[in-house]
Each structure stands twice: as C-alpha cells, then as structure tokens.
Chain A
C-alpha cells in the first residue's frame, strides 16, 4: 500500500515535495489569517474556525447506504461524556456560543433527542399524576386513578414536536437558502439534535411542577422557556440573519412561540390547577337567601 513517504516526488532538490497531508492544513491556516478581532464573536457563532476540517471528516464517515444497520450506527457514535457535555450546554447556554457548532460539531446523534423525549414523556405523566394526587388528597369524593391514557397523549405530543417542528424548520431554511445565500446552514439531524437537547431543561421543570402553587409553576415556565429558548435563538439567529429582517424576526419568533406553547400546553393539560381552599364567604343577598361563592 502506498504511504505518504513513497508518494513524495524528489526529482531534484529544488523541486517542492508533495505530501498527502498538505491540502487539509491549508484551509485552516487561511481562515486563521482572515480572522479579524471584530468578527471573533461571529466566528464563534458560525464556528468557521475548524468547521472545514470537521466537514471533511464528517463527509468520510456517513458513507454506508441507508438500508444497512451501519448507516444508523453513525448516528449513535457518541460517548457518555459527549452526551453529558451536550446536556450541560443546553442547560447552561453561554451567551454568544452556538450550540450546534460548539457541541455537535458535525456529529449529530439521535441518542440524546430520543431518550430525552422518552424521559420527558414519562416525567410529565408521572409528575402530573402525583401532583393531581396531592392536590385532591383529603377530599372525600376523590378516588385515585393512575391516568394511564395520558402517557400515550404525552408521547404523541412530545415526539411530534421534537420531530415535525425541526422538519418544518429545516424545510423552511432550505427554501430560504435557495433564495438568499446564507453562510450558515444546518442539516436536518443537527436541527433535531438541538431541539432534542433543548427539551432537557423541561425534565427537572416537570418534576418541580408537582408543587401546587400557581406562582411557582409560572415562574418555572418562564425560567425554562428562557433557558431553552435562548439555546434555540442562538442556534437559529445566525442562519436567518442574512435574510430579510422581517422574515428573520418572524422565524425566530415562531420558534419561540411553539416552544412556549408546548410548555404551557403540558402544564395546562397534565397538571390540574391548584385550588385555593379558602372557606367560602357567605354573602347575605337582598331577599334573604344566601349566596355562597367559592374562589378558584
């Protein structure tokens, strides 16, 4: 087999030596020459400093045809520490850092999205059941039911959100890419990956939603929306920034709105409203009958 040494042509001492490693090195040097201090932040968002090299490596990886098992194995090519790093990056978003470029780096995995969604489905179902149990505990007419139907509803909702919304977003970005040349474009799996990992913050949120206080629940909604919303915004803003300003803002706003809808919808459907157990005030009406009001 030919090695790099054998392919070096040394016809005469003045000629340049050619080795196989060179082409990979050159783009990296060119990029580092072109970096100016003002555009450092943008480069961190775009990740152009080593994206070429990783693109080259990624292109060499996924070459198996899609009907073989090996093709799907390339989407599970992650170690434990990588998954934990990605989860940490979604829970503590660093302002200015792009989640996809920083953590995914052209190695999108399906392990995270799939198992985070599965955990979220069961966490919401179990927490909702527990919360309803504690709210209605002590009432004489209450019988505990496991509410198992809600697991299938939760599963449908969350998996549909985690797969169909990225599909729509990817289609939209591809369409805009054909009209306006964007520097940054994501593959479908990278978008699925971002959405999957951004849902992780909802797992501890769902557990804390067991606390039957309206104020606490809404504070949690706002907080988790901020955290996961910022991950999504920092990922997708560079992809639409070069487009028409109104379309860019509308896209990011839609992404955030759908994310908020998911959180609020889950809270409203799976967790009963905590009733305030204040003794009802009795208001004597004019004609002598009493009207009892109950606060909700």
Chain B
C-alpha cells in the first residue's frame, strides 16, 4: 500500500510538469481493466519518459473524477457531475469488490449455496442494463451510459453495508448480529434507492416516474437480499 502511494505521489510530481507537452495515449483510455490502474501506477517507479508520466497523469485525473462521484453519491444533491461526465470505472470497481466480498459464504460445493462471482456480476450489470432500457422505452431523456453510471455508483452504500456485515459476522453470527446487519442493510438500501432516484427521476416524463422508480427499487432490493443472506463458512 505504501509502495503504491509513493509511486503515485512520484507520478503526480513528474506529471505536473509534463501536462502541456503531449497528448493522451488512446490505448490507455480504452483499457477495460480497472485493476491495471494500480499496476500501471506501480510501474511509474521508473518514470523516465514523458509517455509514462502522462499515463500516470491520466490515472490521477481519472481517480479524482471517480472520487468526486463517490462523494456525490454519499451526499446526493442535484449535481450534474454524475450525469455529465459519466464513467464506468467506479461501477466496475464497486461491482467487483461486492462480488468478491460475497464469496466464501457457505460454499459447501453444494448447489444451494450463495451466489457465485459470475452471478453477482451478471445480476448487477444485466439488471442495470434492463433498468436503463426500461427508462428509455418509457420516454426518458437520459442517455444509456449516463444511466448505467448512476446505477453503478449508487451500489456504493450497499458495498459499504457488505463490508460492515462481514466485520459484524467476524464478531459472531447470533440474533444480535443479525439485527445489526438487518438495520445496516436496510438503511443502505434506502440510501441507494433514494440516491439513484434523486439523479434519475428528473429525466422521466412526470406521469411515469413511479414506473421508472419501481424497477430501481427491485434491483437494489435483490442486491440487499444477497448481502443480508450472506452466511460465512
């Protein structure tokens, strides 16, 4: 962790001076793997050429944009930052971390266990796509990727809930722990739904708002159910 921070810090200092000289590497912009963010930041250890420092600059700017969006989700106000400058890095990171945290639960290698990694991934992305299509078919004016971006970022309260649940389960798995988990997951579910509704409801025709909000409610309910029913091995 310290090694990473040192390298990213070094990269920022080098990059600050090299901004106006070069363009951005197009291959990097299209790179789908968010984990490569960290790998590439680490490789800036030997930041000699201008190209490598620009890679680092791109990651810092990206990280700042992603971080700003996380803050907007935690305090949902009517801001257009989430809508205007959409990106799918944040949703990808959240989805992967949620799917990873849901692993290792009652995996008896029997069929009736918890959701597999691929199942969580598919549910989140397929669910988000279906909800976006639904809102566009009902006459919404939001663009496809903007909607995916909002729905993905609003999974963050539930990811926090999953983290809290795993910590609570470390302490014990009795009735008290279940009640704590129920309250935390319930609160985060309400937060997710309200946050995404705050961003998405304005772009819908006024007499169809409930038709658009209900699938979002169902989507976060399913994710909350998966989090609540997680039982460790």
Contact = CB atoms under 8 A, between A and B. Distances in A.
Interface stretch (B86-94, B156-164, B208-216): B208-216
Interface string B58-79: 0000000000000000000000
A271 B231 CA distance: 21
B210 A80 contact: yes
A201 B209 CA distance: 23
A148 B227 CA distance: 12
Contacts of B105: 146
A73 B230 CA distance: 39
B137 interface: yes
Contacts of B48: none
A41 to B, nearest CB: 34
Interface residues of A, number: 25
Given A119-B218, A147-B112, A78 B225 contact: no
A146 B113 contact: yes
B211 A111 contact: yes
Contacts of A149: 111-112
Nearest to B207: A79
Interface string B188-230: 0000000000000000000111110011001001100110011
Interface in A129-179: 129, 143-150
A115 interface: yes
A81 interface: yes
A83 interface: yes
A188 interface: no
B115 interface: yes
Interface residues of B, number: 30
B26 to A, nearest CB: 30
Interface string B16-43: 0000000000000000000000000000
Contact of B231 (A72, A126, A146): A146
A80 B211 CA distance: 6
Contact of A76 (B137, B215, B221, B230): B137
A186 interface: no
Contact of B229 (A69, A146, A150): A146
B211 to A, nearest CB: 5
B184 to A, nearest CB: 18
A118 interface: yes
A111 B226 CA distance: 25
Contacts of A147: 112
B76 to A, nearest CB: 23
B152 interface: no
Contacts of B209: 80
A122 B106 contact: no
Contact of B134 (A78, A111, A143, A150): A111
A127 B208 CA distance: 29
A62 to B, nearest CB: 14
B139 interface: yes
B138 interface: yes
Given A76-B138, A122-B222, A115 B210 contact: no
Nearest to B123: A151
A83 B113 contact: no
A75 B134 CA distance: 11
B7 to A, nearest CB: 40
A133 to B, nearest CB: 9
Given A76-B138, A115-B215, A143 B106 contact: yes
Contacts of A146: 105-106, 112-115, 226, 229-231
B168 to A, nearest CB: 16
B137 A73 contact: yes
Contacts of A76: 134, 137-139
Given A79-B208, A145-B112, A146-B229, 5 more contacts: A80-B210, A145-B114, A148-B115, A148-B226, A149-B112
In the A-B complex, list the 6 residue pairs whose CB atoms are closest, starting with the nearest: A76-B137, A146-B229, A79-B207, A145-B112, A80-B210, A147-B112
Interface of A: 69, 72-73, 75-76, 78-81, 83, 111, 115, 118-119, 122, 126, 129, 143-150
12 contacts: A69-B136, A72-B137, A75-B137, A76-B139, A78-B208, A79-B208, A115-B134, A143-B231, A145-B106, A145-B113, A146-B115, A148-B113
